[in-house]
């Protein structure tokens, strides 16, 4: 049997909402939805792999249509196959996409490639007839663990939102089974953010923990001023205080913040991840890494990032990716990450879990669906099917 990619389709979809973090609003946010169509038939149906990019970066239709999809369609089909020719080899597909691309400067190109890479892995696991998390565990000689820790991200700023609305939002997450919640900081004066934090802590009590996210807004002085305020509270983490590439700032902050810090959602390559580990002062015994494969060249690259972490003494269990998508749930369950983000009320239908999956005491259990499992989420699959089936 041979496998051929017969088409790569892209459509840019809105995921807009009136929310705002300390850096951007989401009123014009979009995502690229991609389908990698193969000539393989499984259970009487053509195998199509699907992918989309995470929130926070916009859809990548231009790059996908002009460079990355044509390279896959023009590649010799045999050059994309695994050793016995029965499936695609994601690393070979990745190399074909990245031919004639210089190193460095990992701007939005990594989002375009990450989106297609997601669809390729979905197709590969479907062709193998397995959930992606089980395929990954097998390939790495690990035992899959379908139970994955998830936390509820929200707590955004938006027009007219007062403390009682913020508390109500957080209560809603607790009611849905979460025991870690996250809110935005840095989009209001520090005294106001302190009030917001105290209001949320009062609402959630001591059984639930709160993480805070500054979205890279602060200069060093402000990051330290916040660190001094935040360290009075038992927070789950202090996220992305300063510019994602300002490793010296991150390292200096550690001096003022003994609690857990988190960052990495805006680092888009294993080289950038390596520099964070080398120079960012992140501590493997308590800090968290949030690289998001959908924004950073996909799972082929994420595996290189995990290899970098291992070399530097970091466990994959210190990774809780940004993005709230099923791709990272599969990586978490297959490769032993510490968990995954989720946005219970945002970015639908792209985020979240297959239908019927519930959060219990902060964990979900992955159902055994072939591929990434998008077919189990009916609102999402409807969009995907409309693109290509
Ligand atoms: O608001 C955003 O851009 C999303 C974000 O940082 C997160 O989920 O950590
Ligand atoms: Mg963040």
Q: Are 185 and 197 in contact (CB under 8 A)?
A: yes
Residue nearest to atom 2 of ligand 1 (CA): 56
Q: How far is the CA of 212 from the centre of ligand 1 (A)?
A: 10
Does 126 qualify as catalytic in the annotation?
no
Residue 107's pLDDT is what?
87
As a whole number of angstroms, the distance between CA 382 and CA 389 comes to 10
Ligand 1 neighbourhood includes 71 CB (under 6 angstroms): no
Q: What is the distance in A from the centroid of ligand 1 to the CA of 387? A: 27
Residues 236-275 pLDDT 10s: 999 999 999 999 999 999 999 999 999 999 999 999 999 9
Convert the pLDDT of each residue in 217-233 to its tens digit: 999 999 999 999 999 99
Q: How far is the CA of 371 from the centre of ligand 2 (A)?
A: 27
Q: Determine which residue's CA is closest to atom 9 belonging to ligand 1.
A: 322
pLDDT band for position 1 (cuts 50, 70, 90):
low
Q: E-strand spans in 75-170?
A: 147-153
Per the annotation, the verdict on 325 as an active-site residue is: no
Catalytic residue among 126, 184, 325, 377: 184
Sorting pLDDT into bands at 50, 70 and 90, what band is 2?
confident
CB of 213 sitting under 6 A from ligand 1? yes
3-state secondary structure of 180: strand
Mean pLDDT of 73-96: 97
- Contact predicate 196/188, CB 8 Å: yes
User: Has residue 27 got a pLDDT over 90?
Assistant: yes
Whether residue 332 is predicted with pLDDT greater than 70 in this model: the reply is: yes
For ligand 1, say whether the CB of 341 is within 6 Å of any of its atoms.
Answer: yes
Q: Which long-range contacts (CB under 8 A, 24 or more apart) does 276-281 make?
A: 276/247, 276/250, 277/308, 277/309, 277/312, 277/314, 278/247, 278/312, 279/247, 279/248, 279/251, 280/247, 280/250, 280/251, 281/247, 281/250, 281/251, 281/252, 281/253, 281/254
Distance 68 CA to ligand 2 centre (A): 27
265 CB less than 6 Å from ligand 1?
A: yes
Q: How many CB atoms lie within 10 A of CB 145?
A: 16
Q: Which two tokens stand for residue 192?
A: 């106001």
Q: Which of 106, 126, 182, 322 is catalytic?
A: 322
Q: Which two tokens stand for residue 296?
A: 């950073």
* Euclidean distance between CA atoms 109 and 37, whole angstroms: 21
- Which of 215, 342, 351 to probe ligand 1 with, by most ligand atoms within 8 A of CB? 215
Choice from 213, 242, 340 to test ligand 1 binding pocket (greatest atom count within 8 A of CB): 213
Strands (E), the chain: 5-14, 30-42, 45-52, 147-153, 180-184, 209-213, 237-239, 261-263, 288-289, 340-342, 363-365
117: Cβ below 6 Å to ligand 1? no
Angle at which helices 270-279 and 247-254 cross, to 10°: 40
DSSP string, 190-211: HHHHHHHHHHHHHHH-SSSEEE
CA of 56 to the centre of ligand 1 (A): 7
For a ligand 1 pocket test, name from 20, 21, 152 the mutation site with the most ligand atoms within 8 angstroms of its C-beta.
21
- The tokens of 163 are what? 């403390």
ipTM of the complex: 0.99
Predicted confidence at residue 183, as pLDDT, reads: 98
Mean pLDDT over all residues of the chain? 97
> How far is the centre of ligand 1, averaged over its atoms, from the C-alpha of 280 (Å)?
20
* CA dihedral over 39, 42, 44, 46, signed as positive or negative: negative
Would the CB of 153 count as within 6 Å of ligand 1? Answer: yes
Question: Cα dihedral angle (98, 102, 107, 108), rounded to 10 degrees?
Answer: -30
What SS3 state is found at 76? Answer: coil
């Amino acid at each position: 049997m041979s496998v051929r990619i017969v088409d790569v389709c892209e459509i840019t979809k809105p995921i807009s909402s009136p929310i705002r973090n300390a850096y951007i609003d989401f009123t014009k946010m979009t995502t690229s939805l991609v389908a990698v169509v193969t000539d393989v038939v499984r259970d009487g149906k053509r195998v199509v792999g699907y992918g989309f990019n995470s929130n926070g970066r916009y859809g990548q239709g231009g790059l996908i249509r002009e460079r990355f999809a044509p390279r896959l369609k023009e590649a010799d089909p045999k050059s994309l196959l695994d050793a016995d020719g029965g499936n695609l080899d994601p690393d070979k597909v990745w190399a074909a996409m990245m031919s004639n691309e210089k190193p460095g400067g990992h701007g939005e190109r990594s989002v375009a490639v990450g989106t297609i890479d997601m669809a390729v892995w979905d197709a590969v696991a479907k062709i193998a007839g397995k959930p992606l998390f089980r395929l990954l565990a097998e390939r790495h000689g690990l035992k899959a663990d379908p139970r994955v820790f998830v936390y509820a991200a929200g707590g955004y700023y938006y027009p007219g939102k007062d403390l009682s609305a913020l508390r109500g939002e957080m209560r809603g997450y607790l009611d849905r089974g979460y025991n870690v919640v996250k809110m935005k900081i840095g989009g209001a004066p520090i005294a106001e953010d302190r009030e917001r934090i105290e209001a949320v802590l009062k609402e959630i009590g001591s059984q639930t923990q709160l993480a805070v996210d500054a979205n890279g807004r602060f200069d060093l002085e402000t990051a330290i001023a916040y660190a001094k305020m935040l360290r009075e509270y038992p927070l789950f983490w202090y996220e992305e205080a300063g510019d994602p590439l300002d490793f010296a700032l991150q390292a200096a902050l550690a001096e003022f913040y003994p609690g857990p810090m988190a960052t990495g959602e805006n680092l888009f390559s294993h080289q950038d991840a390596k520099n964070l580990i080398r120079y960012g002062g992140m501590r493997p015994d308590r800090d968290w890494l949030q690289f998001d494969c959908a924004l950073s060249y996909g799972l082929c690259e994420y595996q290189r990032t995990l290899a970098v972490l291992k070399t530097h003494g970091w466990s994959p269990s210190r990774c809780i990716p940004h993005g709230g998508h099923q791709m990272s749930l599969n990586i978490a369950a297959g490769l032993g990450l510490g968990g995954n983000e989720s946005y219970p009320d945002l970015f639908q239908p792209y985020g979240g879990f297959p239908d019927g999956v519930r959060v219990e005491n902060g964990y979900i259990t992955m159902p055994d669906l072939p591929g990434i499992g998008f077919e189990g989420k009916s609102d999402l699959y409807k969009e995907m099917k409309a693109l290509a089936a």
